[in-house]
């Protein structure tokens, strides 16, 4: 039983799972808002389909980037330095 809890804790705290679930929630909200707004503003079905397609294509990209980033960088500070963003520590 403790192995299951340990596995569950690892899954919920792993950066890839967190990135995937965050992306899924944001993509869902974006698709819902676009589908609600498309009718009154006469944006067309092509825009809604494009947003849905972009959301579907973007999901594996986010997962792969999350795997790459989490395997190469142990802390976010190293990632920030590597992309050229310098944040002064207080």
Which position has the token pair 């594996």? 60
pLDDT in tens, 17-29: 888 899 999 999 9
Torsion of CA 70, 76, 78, 80, to 10 degrees: 120
Residue 74 domain-assigned?
yes
- Is 48 within 8 Å of 35 (Cβ atoms)? yes
Q: Rounded to an integer, what distance in angstroms lies between the CA atom of residue 56 and that of residue 50?
A: 10
The range of the structural domain enclosing residue 34 comes to 2-82
Which pTM value belongs to this model? 0.70
Q: How confident is the model at residue 38 (pLDDT cuts 50, 70, 90)?
A: very high
Residue 90 domain-assigned?
no
Residue 23 domain-assigned?
yes
Name the more confident of 15 and 81. Answer: 15
pLDDT at site 8:
73
pLDDT in tens, 43-73: 889 999 999 999 999 999 998 888 888 877 6
What are the φ/ψ torsions at residue 88 (nearest 5 degrees)? -70, 125
Task: Give the distance between the most distant pair of CA atoms in the chain.
Answer: 55
Q: How confident is the model at residue 33 (pLDDT cuts 50, 70, 90)?
A: very high
């Amino acid at each position: 039983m403790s192995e299951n809890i340990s596995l569950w804790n690892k899954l919920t705290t792993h950066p890839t799972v967190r990135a995937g679930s965050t992306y899924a929630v944001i993509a869902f909200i974006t698709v819902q808002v676009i589908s609600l707004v498309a009718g009154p503003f006469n944006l067309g079905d092509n825009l809604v389909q494009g947003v849905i397609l972009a959301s579907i294509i973007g999901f594996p990209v986010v997962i792969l980037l999350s795997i790459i980033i989490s395997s190469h960088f142990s802390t976010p500070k190293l990632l920030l330095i590597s992309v050229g963003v310098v944040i002064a520590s207080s």
